[in-house]
């Protein structure tokens, strides 16, 4: 990539947390990332000095004309799900998207993309409080309520505020690889990867004894034995639970099924090995627990919309070792 420009929108009534997420991930100088890291600008939807939530006042870099130069446009939470979106903003977003810009929303920012027609006949998500309203007002959108984010390639949407961090890190991972995304996550002191399909919230807290000991030891075991076959019965036996209790506790702790958790962990292992080793695809498939290159390719292409070979070519570290 060659210094792609990320433009984030600002407006009166701006949601400061979502705006801050975009600034933190795309707007900070990161010399450790080299010369091709993102450029960043703030585009004002409204004229003059803007007043954000909490009384914060903003002076922006420019107006909507900045969208004409953007490679990625970030729409933070909008000032109200029922608040009309200016026609001028919709026109600029459509023009930028048609030119090839990626457009992404955080939380209620999805209503801006919806008003612009960029989500018609696509999957999209938003904060669980707004999913019913979004579906009612824009029936052409395939609203998926219980996920963290959805990546349609050129249009991306995320759930509530913190899910914006996950989506932004996902975009960094797409653009620069998992090593770069992990470095950014480390500075943020957040988990480097939560899969977009993970549930937005967990209904019931799990006792510390289960999280800190029984399931905690299971996660450690799985990370060091990804190549081994695992079943619900074997995992339940490892933590001394019945299969039914285990599935309930696992879902309450992770918001996921054991099979989905294992798949995500194995794909993350593949990313690491593709970036940081010269191992053959056969060996990577074996170490990650996929068993065959065909199975690895199938899941990798479905999850990342690229092949393992193409991913390696783009993100492999110079001098990656074969063992």
The pLDDT score that the predictor gives to residue 10 is 96
Written as six digits, the tokens of 215 are 């399931």
Q: What is the mean pLDDT of residues 9-22?
A: 94
The pLDDT score that the predictor gives to residue 203 is 38
Q: What is the mean pLDDT of residues 213-222?
A: 82
Percentage with pLDDT > 90 across the chain = 61
The pLDDT score that the predictor gives to residue 258 is 93
Per the model's pLDDT, the better-predicted residue between 295 and 323 turns out to be 295
Written as six digits, the tokens of 314 are 């783009």
Give the pLDDT confidence of 119-177 residue by residue, as tens digits. 999 999 999 999 999 999 999 999 998 788 999 999 999 998 889 999 999 999 899 98
Q: What is the mean pLDDT of residues 179-183?
A: 87
Say whether pLDDT at 2 is over 80: no
Say whether pLDDT at 29 is over 60: yes
> Are the beta carbons of 181 and 172 closer than 8 angstroms?
yes
**Any catalytic annotation for residue 107?**
yes
Dihedral of the alpha carbons of 193, 70, 55, 14, in degrees to the nearest 10: -70
Dist CA 85 CA 299 (whole Å): 39
Handedness of CA 188, 192, 196, 198 (dihedral sign): negative
Q: Which of 15, 51, 90, 107 is catalytic?
A: 107
The pLDDT score that the predictor gives to residue 151 is 92
pLDDT band with cut points at 50, 70 and 90 for residue 299: very high
pTM (global) more than 0.75: no
Say whether pLDDT at 62 is over 60: yes
Phi-psi bin for 305: left (phi > 0), alpha (psi -120 to 50), beta? left
> Are the beta carbons of 106 and 74 closer than 8 angstroms?
yes
Residue 273's SS3 state is helix
Q: What is the mean pLDDT of residues 238-261?
A: 88
Lowest model confidence (mean pLDDT) among 1-5, 16-20, 293-297: 1-5
pLDDT band with cut points at 50, 70 and 90 for residue 103: very high
Range with the largest mean pLDDT of 44-48, 110-114, 144-148, 316-320: 110-114
Range with the largest mean pLDDT of 17-26, 146-155, 213-222: 17-26
Closest C-alpha to 8, from 71, 57, 54: 71
pLDDT band with cut points at 50, 70 and 90 for residue 204: very low
Say whether pLDDT at 50 is over 50: yes
> Are the beta carbons of 147 and 116 closer than 8 angstroms?
no
Residue 41's SS3 state is strand
- Spell 93-130 as b/e; 16+ CB within 10 A means b: beebbeeebbbbbbbbbbbbbbbbebbeebebbbbeeb
Per the model's pLDDT, the better-predicted residue between 71 and 183 turns out to be 71
The pLDDT score that the predictor gives to residue 195 is 56
The pLDDT score that the predictor gives to residue 143 is 94
The pLDDT score that the predictor gives to residue 192 is 65
Residue for token pair 């977003």 = 93
Mean pLDDT of the chain: 88
Per the model's pLDDT, the better-predicted residue between 321 and 318 turns out to be 318
Q: What is the mean pLDDT of residues 277-302?
A: 94
Residue 4, class by beta-carbon neighbours within 10 Å (0-12 exposed, 13-18 middle, 19+ buried)?
Answer: middle
> Are the beta carbons of 194 and 185 closer than 8 angstroms?
no
Say whether pLDDT at 256 is over 50: yes
What counts of helices (H) and strands (E) characterise the chain? 14, 10
> Are the beta carbons of 223 and 261 closer than 8 angstroms?
no
Closest C-alpha to 127, from 154, 155, 108: 108
The pLDDT score that the predictor gives to residue 319 is 61
Q: What angle do CA 14, 19, 24 make, to 5 degrees?
A: 160
Percentage with pLDDT > 70 across the chain = 90
Q: What angle do CA 38, 184, 101 make, to 5 degrees?
A: 35
């Amino acid at each position: 990539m060659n210094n792609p420009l990320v433009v984030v929108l600002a407006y009166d009534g701006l949601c400061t947390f979502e705006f801050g997420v975009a600034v933190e991930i795309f707007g900070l100088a990161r010399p450790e990332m080299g010369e091709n890291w993102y450029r960043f600008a703030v585009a004002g939807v409204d004229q003059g000095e803007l007043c954000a939530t909490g009384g914060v006042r903003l002076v922006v870099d420019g107006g909507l004309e900045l969208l004409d130069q953007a490679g990625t446009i970030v729409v933070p939470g909008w000032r109200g799900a029922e608040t009309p979106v200016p026609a001028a903003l919709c026109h600029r977003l459509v023009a930028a998207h048609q030119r090839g810009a990626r457009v992404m929303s955080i939380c209620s920012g999805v209503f801006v993309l919806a008003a612009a027609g960029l989500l018609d006949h696509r999957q999209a998500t938003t904060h669980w409080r707004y999913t019913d309203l979004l579906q009612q007002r824009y029936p052409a959108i395939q609203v998926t309520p219980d996920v963290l984010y959805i990546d349609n390639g050129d249009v991306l949407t995320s759930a509530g505020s913190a899910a914006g961090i996950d989506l932004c890190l996902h975009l960094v991972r797409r653009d620069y690889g998992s090593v770069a995304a992990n470095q950014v996550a480390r500075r943020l002191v957040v988990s480097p990867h939560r899969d977009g399909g993970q549930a937005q919230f967990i209904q019931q807290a799990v006792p510390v004894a289960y999280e800190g000991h029984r399931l905690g030891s299971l996660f450690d075991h799985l990370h060091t034995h990804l190549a081994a076959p695992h079943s619900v019965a074997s995992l339940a036996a490892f933590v001394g639970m019945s299969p039914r209790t285990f599935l309930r506790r696992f879902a309450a702790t992770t918001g996921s099924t054991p099979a989905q958790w294992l798949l995500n962990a194995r794909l993350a292992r593949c990313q690491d090995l593709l970036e940081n080793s010269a191992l053959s695809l056969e060996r990577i498939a074996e170490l990650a627990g996929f068993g065959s290159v065909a199975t690895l390719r199938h899941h990798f292409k479905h999850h990342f919309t690229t092949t393992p070979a193409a991913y390696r070519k783009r993100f492999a570290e110079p001098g990656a070792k074969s063992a």
